[in-house]
Amino acid sequence: MYDVIIIGAGPAGLSAAIASREWEAHVLVLDEFPKPGGRLLGQLHQEPNGEWWNGIKETGILMDKAEELNIDVRCGISAHHTEKTADGFTVHTNEGTFDAENLLIATGAAESAAPIPGWTLPGVMSIGAAQVMTNVHRVRVGDKGIVVGVNVLSAAIARELQLADVELHSMALPAVNPVTKDHGDPGKVMDGLVRIAHLAPSAFLRFGSKFAKAAWVRKLAVKFYPKGGVKMWGMPIHIRKSVVEINGNEEVESVTICDITPDGTPIKGSEKTVDVDFVCIAGGLYPLAELAAVTGCPFQYIEELGGQVPVHNEQMETPIEGLYVAGNITGIESAKVARAQGTVAGLSIAKQKVKDLADIEYRVDEAKQKVKAIRKEASIQFHPGIDEGRSKIEKAFQDYSNVT
Q: What is the DSSP string of 339-359?
A: HHHHHHHHHHHHHHHH-S-HH
Indicate the helix (H) or strand (E) that contains 110: strand 109-111
pLDDT of residue 2: 96
Q: Helix, strand, or coil here: 18? A: helix
pLDDT of residue 368: 97
- Measured CA to CA, the distance from residue 285 to residue 111 in angstroms comes to 4
pLDDT of residue 295: 94
Our CA dihedral for 307, 310, 316, 317, rounded to 10 degrees, sits at: 160
Strands (E) across 129-194 are located at 144-148, 167-174
pLDDT of residue 203: 44
Across the chain, which has 404 residues, the per-10-residue mean pLDDT values are 97 98 96 93 78 89 97 97 96 97 97 91 96 91 95 87 93 90 85 61 44 57 82 88 96 97 92 97 93 95 94 97 97 95 97 80 95 87 86 94 77
Indicate the helix (H) or strand (E) that contains 307: strand 307-310
pLDDT of residue 197: 56
Written as one letter, the residue type at 43 is Q
Q: In 3D, which of 345, 387, 335 has the Cα closest to residue 108? A: 335
- Measured CA to CA, the distance from residue 56 to residue 369 in angstroms comes to 26
CB 41 within 8 A of CB 108: no
pLDDT of residue 47: 73
- Measured CA to CA, the distance from residue 122 to residue 277 in angstroms comes to 9
Find the helix packing angle between 186-194 and 215-223, rounded to 10°.
120
pLDDT of residue 211: 40
Indicate the helix (H) or strand (E) that contains 152: helix 152-163
Buried b or exposed e, range 131-159, using 16+ CB within 10 angstroms: bbbbbbeeeebbeebbbbbbbbbbbbbbb
Instruction: Give the chain's count of helices (H) and strands (E).
Output: 11, 21
CB 134 within 8 A of CB 145: no
What domains lie within the chain, and their CATH numbers? 2-110+285-403 (3.50.50.60), 113-281 (3.50.50.60)
Strands 44-46 and 52-54, by their bridges, are antiparallel
Record the pTM.
0.89
N-term to C-term CA, the chain: 28
Who contacts 163 (Cβ-Cβ below 8 Å, separation ≥6)?
A: 44
Strands 278-281 and 299-302, by their bridges, are unpaired
- Measured CA to CA, the distance from residue 350 to residue 332 in angstroms comes to 25
Q: Helix, strand, or coil here: 274? A: strand
